[in-house]
Structure 1
């Protein structure tokens, strides 16, 4: 189990390195099945857009500061 998790992390490293953000905060609420990703120190958004995939794009002053992914388990690799 740990080996599979580490392998998935290793595979995501090239993608993470391409992010235009200096820091990334990630929190997963297993009970609610929601993944929170913040690109700035977690703060309140002033605007939000809900996509058809149940991804909430959080903005502050027109800049994307994070994502809230609802029902994140549906994105699992099969």
Structure 2
């Protein structure tokens, strides 16, 4: 289970670019970043402030029961 660094999360998906943006604080500039497995981790003063998921559709294989766009998502209620 993932624990977010904040109680509020901003999520935006650019369908044309197939990029998912996740911010753990109100979107702001990071002063450091790390790219690993098509995920860019954004840091501000050593705190993780956001993620950018490149080729986001590759992370959804379509055979998972826990999908955001599907009708079945037990964790989301």
Q: Which range, TM-score by smaller chain?
A: 0.7 to 0.9
Counterpart-to-counterpart distance in 1, 2:5 and 2:42? 16
The correspondence for 1:76, drawn from 57, 60, 63, is: 60
Where do 5+ consecutive residues of structure 2 fail to align? 63-77
The correspondence for 1:49, drawn from 8, 21, 34, is: 34
The answer to whether the aligner puts 1:32 opposite 2:17 as a matched pair is yes
| Aligned length, in residue pairs | 62
Shift of 1:26: 0.1
Counterpart-to-counterpart distance in 2, 1:29 and 1:50? 19
Q: State the TM-score, normalized to the length of structure 2.
A: 0.74
Deviating beyond 2 angstroms after TM superposition, the runs of 4 or more aligned structure 1 residues are none
Counterpart-to-counterpart distance in 1, 2:18 and 2:39? 12
Q: State the TM-score, normalized to the length of structure 1.
A: 0.73
Counterpart-to-counterpart distance in 2, 1:74 and 1:65? 23
Where do 5+ consecutive residues of structure 1 fail to align? 1-14
